[in-house]
A and B are shown apart, each in its own frame.
Chain A
């Protein structure tokens, strides 16, 4: 009805009195397989190129085509890049989810929809813009079969007009996206321009959201965590990768392959690496063990179900002391769980993966930069300690696009650990594979093929003495296990240490790891502004835990352990590790619904607990 329409326009124009600049989240609801990824990347990059901090999160189904998918872009002048709970601007392209998407918005949000969907009748407290996509795409794309792919670029142009995104930046981002495919770039830009022109002629701005140039992304890059991890591995000098495809880790392995093919072929055209797509995860880790044993820098990539399958070999690697790097890009379990949603749920199963007294080193990257740095460091740590290193990434980090400082070239040389050469053996006369010569628990090893009659030793998962001979003697078993423990204890002080934010003077503390970091840093500001709470924050970056973690708990009365799983896995590991008088200080803030953690949830729950 006309009166309602006018009323809505009035309320909307009132809202536009106070513009909201560089602070919004845009959600694009599409159908997967419709080519919307390119449009969303162009949108993200255009805002990024305008100097505004931005993040993009893809919420997608475990499906190839035809199911709903949502992409959220958050632009924020303060640099907050965590998922924002509220959606300010919805681009509704999927008829199947459109009504639910619209109904879940907060009052005052804007909706851009495909004209035939007639969504404006659903709510009166939202701002609606309609676009006749099919008509517009027909004018710019004569080839009917391409229209489905080009259609999505129209909303980029419409948004550019409504949000004041520079069309020059849209074109630049688009040409980068399509790289050498000039024809495709031209066609897509024509679609974006058609959307822009349509908006100029037909849509009057009624929502408060807009962007304005800033200088906060100068020099920065946009990269997903899996690509960053892949780069780290390539610069670490990985020489053997075996892998089995599994979401969300496949793009990490594919990134490694892509970079290796580009950068690791000799001038003679030969590969300085071997990559094997294994028959399963059992074989993938087996190849890592074989290659690590024989001296390669070996890695595999997987997710939770693969970690479960690798269990037996992981115990062998721990006990036989074989280096290797395992990337776990965590997703939601148990079982197949939610394979395309994020989680921090593999901590406990990985820490003690396998049977008997087994424990493993884990690294926890929180950003693409740390994926790169830990990707390199993981190999050094694995070879130094002659054990597996698990790098615990997650789907949110691995598969989403993040702003990042550019990666610095590694100045630290590659460290290969205690390996004896033929010359060393000539000098020493002999060696015992599991002898603790240096008192640090780390023995020396030789590589197969070392041409010295005393170089060989027998690697086995059964009991062995310091000379690597088969032994069932109680003291041999116990001495060996105690030495392995000394090695593990040493690792506490030599792994990437925890990072403190705050002055350490507050009564309350927060402990978290990995991608929870982004919600926490935003939540800390909310807690200060809304509740006058100023928690100190310690981000854990490795297991076994550094001694500073106990110090942090000791110096705070209440420490909230925030993590993305149901069973408070980090909290549990901390309770096992800390002295018993410290554990009552720990409080768990563990939750998981498959979506990346948002600041609002942390703030509200922590404030509520503090109020008790």
Chain B
């Protein structure tokens, strides 16, 4: 008689299995880059042992913004209006700073209708992970150009984009976001490592993830297609991430690898593929992004990281308990206070 032993179900440090991080069945097109990003989000939150109930999922309007329904069913979600998720996210985080805000937006949502809220969110360094699922095209309205489409990129209809693209990463870096990266939905390893680092970061994380639209923008002539990305992806680093709760010591060569200690003690290791790239140097980061644009490369990896900058919550000097649930004894001043004010007005 052979003995078979069922392996214990795989769980994370909270005792939760990957299924506890899943969402509803996707209604996006088969092969859509956004679905791959949802998978990476599930993996990252599971592996980081994030309590699902502590996450607030936020999105705007568009294909990308539908995706919070496809991961993390156990987290509250808010599907806002087009381009205005940043303000809703800001309000939610202020109401309860113990929440981990995870915003999912698209290139139309962030770079066109929502550019005003996007840039102001970046300025505030609010603790949030803000992901742009960037396909250069409006999917839900069937294939119009977006503001991140590159010059010369061609639509299926033959229309060629002549307007310069808005680089959301460059904006984010120059305006004050403190963890900015670009990735590709098809690069599982890079995106996973960046998402895990995003969870560990305190401040605004802005990740622009090129995520091809298989229906409207994956053809010859598009600069946001799988093929184009495979040919033009220029990774800046080989990224690895060591969570703070894992007591692992792995040697690394400081000559070739930059180690960034994150807020929670995690370590982000960036093995340099470009010798002189320093993602803690804001000016250099912006220059390099512009060089890449000039040379037709798509620069991916951690473009900028700053673990020291104060967040919006620090600036507001908020009390530690969530504002949402402060009791009346804390939020309603006493009788003597009102009497004092009345006396001043007599």
Which A residues have a C-beta under 8 Å from some C-beta of B? 219-223, 231, 234-240, 242, 259, 263-264, 266, 268-276, 278-280, 282-298, 312-313, 316, 406-407, 409-410, 413-414, 446-453, 455-462, 470
Known contacts A291-B92, A449-B322, A459-B78; A407/B331 CB under 8 A: no
Closest 4 interchain pairs by CB?
A290-B91, A286-B87, A295-B324, A237-B331
Establish whether residues A289 and B318, one from each chain, have CB atoms under 8 Å apart when the complex forms: no
Establish whether residues B79 and A462, one from each chain, have CB atoms under 8 Å apart when the complex forms: yes
A316 CB to closest chain B CB, in angstroms? 6
Chain A CB within 8 A of B81 CB: yes
Establish whether residues A289 and B80, one from each chain, have CB atoms under 8 Å apart when the complex forms: yes
| Alpha-carbon distance A222/B93, docked complex (angstroms) | 38
Establish whether residues B117 and A270, one from each chain, have CB atoms under 8 Å apart when the complex forms: no
> A272 contacts which chain B residues (CB < 8 A)?
319, 323, 326, 330-331
| Alpha-carbon distance A499/B119, docked complex (angstroms) | 48
Establish whether residues A414 and B80, one from each chain, have CB atoms under 8 Å apart when the complex forms: no
| Alpha-carbon distance A242/B69, docked complex (angstroms) | 28
Establish whether residues B95 and A290, one from each chain, have CB atoms under 8 Å apart when the complex forms: yes
Contact of A235 among B58, B86, B338 (CB under 8 A): B338
Chain A CB within 8 A of B268 CB: no
| Alpha-carbon distance A222/B338, docked complex (angstroms) | 14
Establish whether residues B323 and A274, one from each chain, have CB atoms under 8 Å apart when the complex forms: yes
Establish whether residues A239 and B84, one from each chain, have CB atoms under 8 Å apart when the complex forms: no
Known contacts A295-B324, A450-B53; A270/B95 CB under 8 A: no
Known contacts A312-B81, A461-B81; A283/B117 CB under 8 A: yes
Establish whether residues A449 and B326, one from each chain, have CB atoms under 8 Å apart when the complex forms: no
Q: Mark B143-178, 1 if CB is under 8 A from A, else 0.
A: 000000000000000000000000000000000000
Residue of A nearest to B53 (CB): A451
> B333 contacts which chain A residues (CB < 8 A)?
234-235, 263-264
A-B contacts, 29 of them at CB < 8 A, read A222-B345, A240-B91, A242-B87, A242-B91, A274-B318, A276-B90, A278-B87, A282-B87, A283-B84, A286-B80, A286-B84, A287-B94, A290-B92, A290-B95, A293-B78, A295-B96, A295-B322, A296-B323, A298-B91, A406-B345, A407-B342, A448-B76, A448-B96, A455-B74, A457-B76, A458-B69, A460-B77, A460-B79, A461-B81
Known contacts A263-B333, A271-B316; A221/B342 CB under 8 A: yes
> A459 contacts which chain B residues (CB < 8 A)?
76-79
Residue of A nearest to B79 (CB): A460
Contact of B335 among A234, A269, A279, A409 (CB under 8 A): A409
> B325 contacts which chain A residues (CB < 8 A)?
295, 447
> B98 contacts which chain A residues (CB < 8 A)?
449
Establish whether residues B94 and A276, one from each chain, have CB atoms under 8 Å apart when the complex forms: yes
> A269 contacts which chain B residues (CB < 8 A)?
317
Establish whether residues A290 and B88, one from each chain, have CB atoms under 8 Å apart when the complex forms: yes
| Alpha-carbon distance A203/B326, docked complex (angstroms) | 62
Residue of B nearest to A298 (CB): B91
Contact of A297 among B76, B92, B331 (CB under 8 A): B331
Establish whether residues B319 and A270, one from each chain, have CB atoms under 8 Å apart when the complex forms: yes
Contact of A237 among B69, B81, B89, B332 (CB under 8 A): B332
Establish whether residues B81 and A221, one from each chain, have CB atoms under 8 Å apart when the complex forms: no
Residue of A nearest to B335 (CB): A409
Which B residues have a C-beta under 8 Å from some C-beta of A? 20, 51-54, 56, 58, 68-69, 73-81, 84, 86-96, 98-99, 116-117, 120, 316-320, 322-326, 328, 330-333, 335, 337-339, 341-342, 345-346
Known contacts A271-B316, A287-B91; A447/B324 CB under 8 A: yes
Contact of B341 among A231, A238, A313 (CB under 8 A): A231
Establish whether residues A294 and B81, one from each chain, have CB atoms under 8 Å apart when the complex forms: no
> A407 contacts which chain B residues (CB < 8 A)?
338, 342
> A289 contacts which chain B residues (CB < 8 A)?
80, 87-88, 91
| Alpha-carbon distance A450/B99, docked complex (angstroms) | 10
Contact of A293 among B86, B92, B335, B338 (CB under 8 A): B92
> A298 contacts which chain B residues (CB < 8 A)?
91, 95
Establish whether residues B79 and A279, one from each chain, have CB atoms under 8 Å apart when the complex forms: no
Known contacts A237-B332, A293-B91, A456-B75; A282/B316 CB under 8 A: no
| Alpha-carbon distance A221/B20, docked complex (angstroms) | 59
> B91 contacts which chain A residues (CB < 8 A)?
240, 242, 286-294, 296, 298
| Alpha-carbon distance A225/B113, docked complex (angstroms) | 36
Establish whether residues B96 and A449, one from each chain, have CB atoms under 8 Å apart when the complex forms: yes
| Alpha-carbon distance A240/B93, docked complex (angstroms) | 11
Establish whether residues B328 and A413, one from each chain, have CB atoms under 8 Å apart when the complex forms: yes
A203 CB to closest chain B CB, in angstroms? 32
Known contacts A221-B345, A296-B323; A313/B81 CB under 8 A: yes
| Alpha-carbon distance A571/B90, docked complex (angstroms) | 39
Establish whether residues A313 and B76, one from each chain, have CB atoms under 8 Å apart when the complex forms: no
> B78 contacts which chain A residues (CB < 8 A)?
290, 293, 459-460
Known contacts A221-B342, A279-B116, A407-B342; A240/B323 CB under 8 A: yes
Contact of B323 among A231, A273, A284, A448 (CB under 8 A): A273
B130 CB to closest chain A CB, in angstroms? 14
